Structure 1
Amino acid sequence: MDFVKQGPAAKYSHEGDEPINVNMAFGEQISFGQRSADVVARIVGSWAFIIFQSIALLIWMAANIFLAYQYETNPTYFNAWDPYPFILLNLLLSFEAAYTGPIIMMSQNRQNAKDRLAAELDFEVNKKSEEEIKVIMDHLVYQDKLILKIIEKQEITK
Structure 2
Amino acid sequence: MQTDHHLGRSWRSRWERHPGVRTGSRLTLGERAADRTRLVMGSWPFVLSFLAVLVVWITGNGRHGFDPYPYILLNLVLSCLAGLQASVLLISARRSDQVSSELAMHDYRTNRSTAVAIASLQSEVADLSAQLARVEALMKTRL
Superposition TM-score, scaled by structure 1 size: 0.63
For residue 55 of structure 1, report the CA deviation from its aligned partner.
Answer: 1.7
Name the structure 2 match of 1:15.
Answer: none
Residue 92 (structure 1) aligned to one of 77, 87, 98: 77
Name the structure 1 match of 2:86.
Answer: 101
Residue 143 of structure 2 corresponds to residue 152 of structure 1: no
For residue 125 of structure 1, report the CA deviation from its aligned partner.
Answer: 2.7
Residue 123 (structure 1) aligned to one of 95, 105, 108: 108
Residue 42 of structure 2 corresponds to residue 45 of structure 1: yes
Structure 2 contact 38–92 (Cα < 8 Å) conserved: yes
Structure 1 residues 91 and 58: CA distance shift in structure 2, 3 A: same
Name the structure 1 match of 2:28.
Answer: 30
Superposition TM-score, scaled by structure 2 size: 0.68
**Which deviates more, 81-90 or 94-103?**
81-90
Q: Once the two structures are superposed, what CA deviation does each residue of 1:27-46 show, in whole Å capped at 9, x if it has no partner?
A: 42403x44333333322112
For residue 96 of structure 1, report the CA deviation from its aligned partner.
Answer: 1.0
Structure 2 contact 21–99 (Cα < 8 Å) conserved: yes
Structure 2 contact 35–92 (Cα < 8 Å) conserved: yes
Structure 1 residues 21 and 116: CA distance shift in structure 2, 3 A: closer
Structure 2 contact 37–88 (Cα < 8 Å) conserved: yes
Give the letter aligned to residue 28 of structure 1: R
Structure 2 contact 34–95 (Cα < 8 Å) conserved: no
- Higher-Rg structure is 1
| Root mean square deviation of aligned Cα | 2.6
Give the letter aligned to residue 22 of structure 1: V
Structure 2 contact 20–105 (Cα < 8 Å) conserved: no
In structure 1, the gaps of 5 or more residues are 1-19, 69-78
Give the letter aligned to residue 93 of structure 1: L
CA distance in 2, matches of 1:81, 1:157: 108
CA distance in 1, matches of 2:76, 2:56: 17
In structure 2, the gaps of 5 or more residues are 1-18
Q: Once the two structures are superposed, what CA deviation does each residue of 1:39-72 show, in whole Å capped at 9, x if it has no partner?
A: 33322112111111112222333344xx33xxxx
Structure 2 contact 67–74 (Cα < 8 Å) conserved: yes
Across the two proteins, how many residue pairs are aligned to each other? 125
